[in-house]
Structure 1
Amino acid sequence: MRKLQHRMGISAAALLFLTGCAAGESETGPTADPQPPEADVTEPAATATLNTVEGDEVGTVTFFEADEGTEVRVDAEGLEPGFYGFHIHGTGLCEPDSAAPDDPENTGAFLSAGGHLGVDEADHGAHAGDLPSLYVTESGQGSLMALTDGFTPSELLAAEDGNAAMIHEDSDNFANIPERYSPDGPDQATLDTGDAGARLACGVVE
């Protein structure tokens, strides 16, 4: 009789355990009504839409705050394959046919955006707005991600004249002209722009 009672006790305990599991408990903890983890989405602190002189949208630029500085992401499409100079310019105006802010006689594509951010403080390669070149593949797609401590998104947005993101038509040599090619060093145009050529696409930082 005692053995039968003992077995019944074990059976009742097992049934209780199984009932608990069915209600959402397991050996490792609750399993009922699981909730999906929240997605880790970081909103950009600033953005720019890149348009050509003809008004065609060819890409976007997003700026994210990072512990080490500012993360810049560029996504472009519809461009010819190759390397393109990419910079942040010191005036937030993207007028297709316009005059340079410091030289009204000098007119051309997106000259309203002024020179590179920090052009008056250093030679090219060390401007606050200098960034790595954008490479576009044979499919016409280009992508760039860079970390810079030359500026913060807040500084771009707070600038009195605004700022603009710019894709240039040519690759950027970052004023790296070896002495064997130029004993006197790079000329002023190279020190200002890195010979990146005409302005292909522009977007106001907002």
Structure 2
Amino acid sequence: MRQPTSLRHLRTRPAALLAAGGALALGLSACGGADDGGDSANTDNGEAGRASDAETADGDALATAELMDPDGGTMGTVTLTQTDGGIEFAVDAEGMEPGMYGFHVHEIGECEPDSAAPDDPEDTGDFMSAGSHIPGEDDADHPDHAGDLPTLLVNDDGTGTMTVVTDRLTEPELLDDDGAAVMVHSDPDNFGNVPERYAEDGPDEDTLSAGDAGDRMACGVIEG
């Protein structure tokens, strides 16, 4: 027997309402998930952006130095950068004879050719105005001075590159009132390594001062 139309409507309307309510709930849930996901993404991007900015700021150049020979010719540049591990020295040399060269940081920011050493007016020569290596700890010998760095290798084409990070030096030491200078010497640095079979009494004063690295060939004032 066929049911009256009004009765059929009463039975189908609740089912329709339940279906509509479920669809609405799913829609709201989906919208809520999108909003949460968007907020999370924005937060993550913001944090990543701030981290990136911090890394960029930390990697900015602290100072530079232009390497000059005694005649005023350019022999390259040195860029100093503050890093988590210390101060990075990035050397980019040019126009040099192939070989190994002592490379140090000296205690005074003056690169005067044919000048006198600050502590001994009779000790004259190119770039003597830059003084000695930045000493660091009291009574330290070479290679334990704060200003002692690895030897620079120059290739057959006359160029030399080197990147080294040191925690022996600080920004105040390099950029104080009298400044500091980077120095390229004419000979390799032996780092005070003189075996007893060559010298029974050990390294002499010159070796313990600068590693027998020879004359001062190029100098650059460190400028912030």
Could you say which TM-score interval applies, normalised by the shorter chain? 0.7 to 0.9
Q: Give the superposed CA RMSD.
A: 1.7
CA contact (8 A) 1:121 1:127 kept: no
For 1:170, the aligned partner's letter is: D
Of 194, 197, 200, the match for 1:183: 200
Structure 2 stretches lacking a partner, 5+ long: 1-48
Distance in 2 of aligned mates of 1:154 and 1:65:
12
Distance across 1 between alignment mates of 2:213 and 2:82: 27
Matches within 5 A, 1:114-193: 114-118=131-135, 121-158=139-176, 160-193=177-210
Partner SS for 1:93: coil
Q: Percent identity?
A: 56
Q: Which ranges of structure 1 fall in alignment gaps of 5 or more residues? A: 1-36
3-state DSSP of counterpart to 1:118: coil
C-alpha contact (below 8 Å) 1:46/1:153 kept by paired residues: no
Q: Which residue of 2 aligns with 1:102?
A: 119
Deviation at 1:149, TM superposition (A): 0.8
Displacement of 1:121 in angstroms is: 3.5
Per-residue CA deviation, residues 121-165 of structure 1 (Å, 9 max, x unaligned), is 41001000000000000000100110111112343112x321000
So what's the TM-score if we normalise by structure 2?
0.72
Post-superposition offset of 1:43: 2.2
Of Structure 1 and Structure 2, which has the larger fraction of its residues in helix?
2
In proportion to residue count, which structure has more strand?
1
CA distance in 2, matches of 1:106, 1:180: 31
How far is 1:183 from its partner?
1.1
Which residues in structure 2 correspond to 1:21-170 (within 5 Å)?
42-118=59-135, 121-158=139-176, 160-170=177-187
Cα distance in 1 between the residues matched to 2:73 and 2:220:
11
CA distance in 1, matches of 2:174, 2:127: 18
TM-score by length of 1: 0.78
> Structure 1 residues 118-127 or 78-87, which shifts more?
118-127
Q: Which has the larger radius of gyration?
A: 2
Following TM superposition, by how much is the alpha carbon of 1:68 offset from its aligned partner in structure 2, in angstroms? Answer: 1.2
Structure 2: which amino acid aligns with 1:195?
Answer: D
Q: Give secondary structure in 2 for the equivalent of 1:200.
A: strand
